[in-house]
Structure 1
């Protein structure tokens, strides 16, 4: 009996239950940091994959505006919020479409569907300036076409009565409130994009299954729940631009700067936070110049 107790004690000492925690438990042996994307990559302009990615962004943003603006119009047309899907339904439409479209296009273009997301990833050197600008142009064109189809379905009078689903600052809120809401909302979105698509995290935490489009879509849903009463929620300059171009009324353009400046600031803050604080890139011996 004493011999068995001795074996147990020796085994406990040999195989300690204490495990490293925090950064001490993080191993990157299966991960190599890729070099940053070049600022300019002229060779992309002769590649079909470059244009295919741009087309994918155009179609995805077109579908995004088509479904979401139609949902907004449907809620605005109803006699009361309770007689329709309401704010929750609008939020689900935006979040659900992002989930579906990112899932469909992630392997082709990365599934940005948002100039702010593209801007944040560009700042993190995940794509070249050439590709970033091309994506933004295609996203804006897709958004305009999507909003245009909605106007064609709804008819001019109904479309204008419901203000075309355009983003504006709601009564009772200041422009500063709206700008802050857009900054924080876009920060949540872009930070989620970085975290959900981080290849280093996938290599390190392979035991945690991550379906990237799901947290991204859920982040869009939650941000819309919070900020629809303030700005109608943009966090996507292409979405605001597409609706404003087709609706084309002065009050839709008055606050347009908020829906570009806010998301771009939020995206930049998210990129800096993820790269500097979460990834500690400037302090990593493996980082590239």
Structure 2
């Protein structure tokens, strides 16, 4: 019993009920272990089964993501019913909800990226190697193509008449506006990913690792609410590529660069912000 009392006293002294605020909080001793930066190139991964398993998980997750979301975008509910379409809110919920589910399912296998922009941002922040980043992006794009292809196979006529879920800059908006919307939207997403998976928060708040998929899904939901009228909301180059390849519309291809350049710029900005602000790495004098 005496030993247990000592443990309780030690815990009470180490983890005070009142936590320091502001700059005082930054001067406390670390109660977490920052993971070391990933190597730029790690050829040893190519001989590991976990490397290929992670790629398969990204393929399946992106496949399911496109399958559910593209069907929702096309409005699979018949127009002669009381609910003719799920509307913008329903589409946003489909995207955000699927990201929440899929990140929850695959986070322990591949990290649950399901998006080349997320993978690119994490690569820039040294969270994974170039080898794994390229592998993930390839599998994500293949999964997206297959997911959109299955949707077209189920409802070919409906798919063609409803635009196939392809991302385009909508009438009334310039390509510059579409590019800006994709940059800001992807920044919100990747910034949320960094914040939700930050090592400091995982150590300080034990519930954060469990709830990490929730803010990520909500970020996707909110970005879709804001930018569906502008671009249909890409913020995921694999999602845009899969829909564009299967739908194969000239107008979609004219705008397609927006849905690669915008997300990659947004992810890069989020990675820079993470390194400077979230990890608080000082500049060398």
Q: TM-score, normalised by structure 1?
A: 0.87
- In the alignment, the residues of structure 2 paired with residue 31 and residue 151 of structure 1 have an alpha-carbon distance, to the nearest angstrom, of 48
- Hey, what does 1:122 align to over in structure 2? 123
Measured after TM superposition, the shift of residue 77 of structure 1 is 6.4
Q: What are structure 2's unaligned runs of at least 5 residues?
A: 1-16
What secondary structure does 1:169 align onto? coil
- In the alignment, the residues of structure 1 paired with residue 82 and residue 110 of structure 2 have an alpha-carbon distance, to the nearest angstrom, of 37
- In the alignment, the residues of structure 2 paired with residue 150 and residue 207 of structure 1 have an alpha-carbon distance, to the nearest angstrom, of 37
- Hey, what does 1:268 align to over in structure 2? 268
- Hey, what does 2:232 align to over in structure 1? 232
The answer on whether the counterparts of 1:116 and 1:263 sit within 8 Å (CA) in structure 2 is yes
The structure number with the bigger radius of gyration is: 1
Q: TM-score, normalised by structure 2?
A: 0.88
- Hey, what does 2:253 align to over in structure 1? 253
RMSD: 2.1
1:220 aligned onto 2:220:
yes
What secondary structure does 2:211 align onto? coil
- Residues 60/207 of structure 1: CA separation in 2 closer, same or farther (3 Å cut): closer
- Hey, what does 2:48 align to over in structure 1? 47
- Hey, what does 2:34 align to over in structure 1? 33
Aligned residue pairs, count: 267
Measured after TM superposition, the shift of residue 91 of structure 1 is 0.2
Measured after TM superposition, the shift of residue 160 of structure 1 is 1.0
- Residues 179/77 of structure 1: CA separation in 2 closer, same or farther (3 Å cut): farther
- In the alignment, the residues of structure 2 paired with residue 94 and residue 77 of structure 1 have an alpha-carbon distance, to the nearest angstrom, of 20
- In the alignment, the residues of structure 1 paired with residue 80 and residue 258 of structure 2 have an alpha-carbon distance, to the nearest angstrom, of 30
Q: What are structure 1's unaligned runs of at least 5 residues?
A: 1-16, 285-289
- In the alignment, the residues of structure 2 paired with residue 227 and residue 24 of structure 1 have an alpha-carbon distance, to the nearest angstrom, of 39
Measured after TM superposition, the shift of residue 100 of structure 1 is 0.1
The answer on whether the counterparts of 1:167 and 1:252 sit within 8 Å (CA) in structure 2 is yes
Measured after TM superposition, the shift of residue 35 of structure 1 is 1.5
